[in-house]
Amino acid sequence: MLQPPPAQPGQREDEIDTPALILDLDAFEANLDRMAALLAPTGAKLRAHAKTHKSPVIAHLQMARGAVGQCVQKVAEAEILAWGGIPDILVSNEVVAPAKLARLAAIGRIARVAVCADDPAAIPAIEQAAAAAGLRLTVLVEIDPGAGRCGVAPGPEAVALARRIAASPHLRFGGLQAYHGSAQHKRTHAERAALIGAAAEGARRTVEQLRQQGIDCPIVGGGGTGSFLLEAHSGVYTEIQAGSYAFMDADYARNFNADGGHVDTFRHALFVLAGVMSAPRPGIAVLDAGHKAVAVDSGMPTIWGRPELRYVSASDEHGKLEAGAETTAPKLGEKLRLIPGHCDPTVDRHDWYVGVRGGRVECLWPVAARGAMS
């Protein structure tokens, strides 16, 4: 069942039922504007990652600020965006099941869609889906930029796969997918610069080898919130796939704070509002938000505006807070904003964004692709 929204427009923030996913609209809009301003002087365009926000509403706000399209990881996410009017969608991931490819081709009638491949064995199923739907599907070759997850090696292996795609009457070669996931969370700029430098060099070499074989490479895509300025200024990457920048979670904040230079580039805009359900002993409070309300895979949430409080442990429906020795723990019924350690899976646990501004609920937006994992 879809859960009812935890608030109504016009309510005060402290009237929102907990736990709730809240979006500080001023901070959120500032983040969208900031990304557009940062990318404007580079050659790169934003293709924002909808795996973070899962919302056609947010996708449209990014498009209005110059994004050329959206990325998704799943066909089910692509469907939600296409049905919500987004005209250009890249599945930045491999899709191999024929039933999924048929669904992707079906939305190819109402949106430009593209998908990635990293294996010649995956191509016939994509061709068949395109042929059955009577259209050409755009396929990008995913290269492994050094992250050790998916992707063929840059260079000859990637070129061979691109040739296979370009030679198909049912497919169109769309370019290279070269997202370096693990680089995003390296703590220092120097570490990220080294990794993205190597990734860009592999992509540059592959583009050059494609050109020598007469194959145009319209897109080189990659770059997340941790590294996007490196890709954008590389002269190689044409599209930036950041998603978390719109929300800023606690883990990315640790990145930015480790650097100095990056601090305050983006503001924390996404929170889980949690309520104190038990205050059993001095210095301890128990919140009503645990694993099912906030993702802890990249560390525990931090507490907005209350650095003296520590969220020390999560269980399924409880979060235990400790107050420092000189601090009073929050009282029964008090509500606090948690900054999630990791925004993407946190968003995916909720059915609604509650947009707040100036202490009031301004809007409700569905997390329309919540659970869209197929």
CA distances from 48 to 29, 69, 119, 223, 254 (A): 14, 7, 25, 10, 22
Does 337 bind a second copy (CB under 8 A)? Our answer is no
**Which regions of the chain does DSSP assign to beta strands (E)?**
20-24, 45-49, 69-72, 88-94, 112-117, 137-142, 171-177, 219-222, 239-240, 270-278, 284-287, 302-303, 309-314, 319-323, 335-339, 352-357, 360-366
Residues that bind a second copy (rule: CB under 8 A) add up to a total of: 68
Q: Which of 39, 349, 354, 356 binds a second copy (CB under 8 A)?
A: 349
Stretch that binds a second copy, among 168-176, 205-213, 231-239, 342-350 (CB under 8 A): 342-350
Among 291, 306, 357, 360, binds a second copy (CB under 8 A): 291
Helix (H) or strand (E) holding 72: strand 69-72
For residues 224 and 243, the answer to whether their CB atoms sit within 8 Å is yes
Q: Which two tokens stand for residue 192?
A: 């990220």
Q: In this structure, what DSSP letter does residue 331 have?
A: P
d(CA 289, CA 181): 28
Q: How far is the CB of 251 from a second copy (least distance, A)?
A: 13
Does residue 282 belong to the site contacting a second copy (CB under 8 A)? Answer: no
Can you tell me the distance from the alpha carbon of 20 to that of 350, in angstroms, rounded to the nearest whole number?
A: 8
Instruction: Look at residues 73, 103, 105, 69 and name the one whose alpha carbon lies nearest to residue 88.
Output: 69
Residue 2 is a binding residue for a second copy (CB under 8 A): yes
**Where does this chain touch a second copy (CB under 8 A) — which range of 26-34, 133-141, 259-267, 288-296?**
288-296
Mark 36-75 with x for binding to a second copy (rule: CB under 8 A) and - for no binding.
---------------x---------------------xx-
| Touching a second copy, residues 145-164 (CB under 8 A) | 149-152
Minimum distance, C-beta of residue 297 to a second copy, in the bound complex (Å): 6
Please tell me whether residue 322 binds a second copy under the rule CB under 8 A: no
Shortest approach of a second copy to residue 371 CB, angstroms?
Answer: 5
Which residues lie across from 152 on neighbouring strands? 143
Q: How far apart are CA 295 and CA 251, in angstroms?
A: 11
CA distance 236 to 200: 6
State yes or no: residue 276 binds a second copy (CB under 8 A). yes
Question: What span, in angstroms and rounded, lies between the C-alpha atoms of 282 and 67?
Answer: 50
Q: Give the binding range for a second copy (CB under 8 A) out of 126-134, 198-206, 252-260, 347-355.
A: 347-355
121 or 325, CB closer to a second copy? 121
User: Is residue 183 involved in binding a second copy (CB under 8 A)?
Assistant: no
Which of these segments, 97-105, 127-135, 207-215, 262-270, binds a second copy (CB under 8 A)? 97-105
Neighbour tally for 98: CB within 10 Å = 14
Candidates 298, 299, 317, 320; CA nearest to 309 is: 320
In the complex with a second copy, the residue whose CB is nearer, 324 or 333, is 333
Of 189-248, which residues contact a second copy (CB under 8 A)?
none
Q: Which residue ranges make up the site for a second copy (CB under 8 A)?
A: 1-3, 6, 17-20, 51, 73-74, 76, 80, 93-97, 99-100, 118-119, 121-122, 144, 149-152, 181, 275-280, 286, 288-289, 291-293, 295-297, 314-318, 320, 332-333, 342, 344-345, 348-351, 366, 368-374
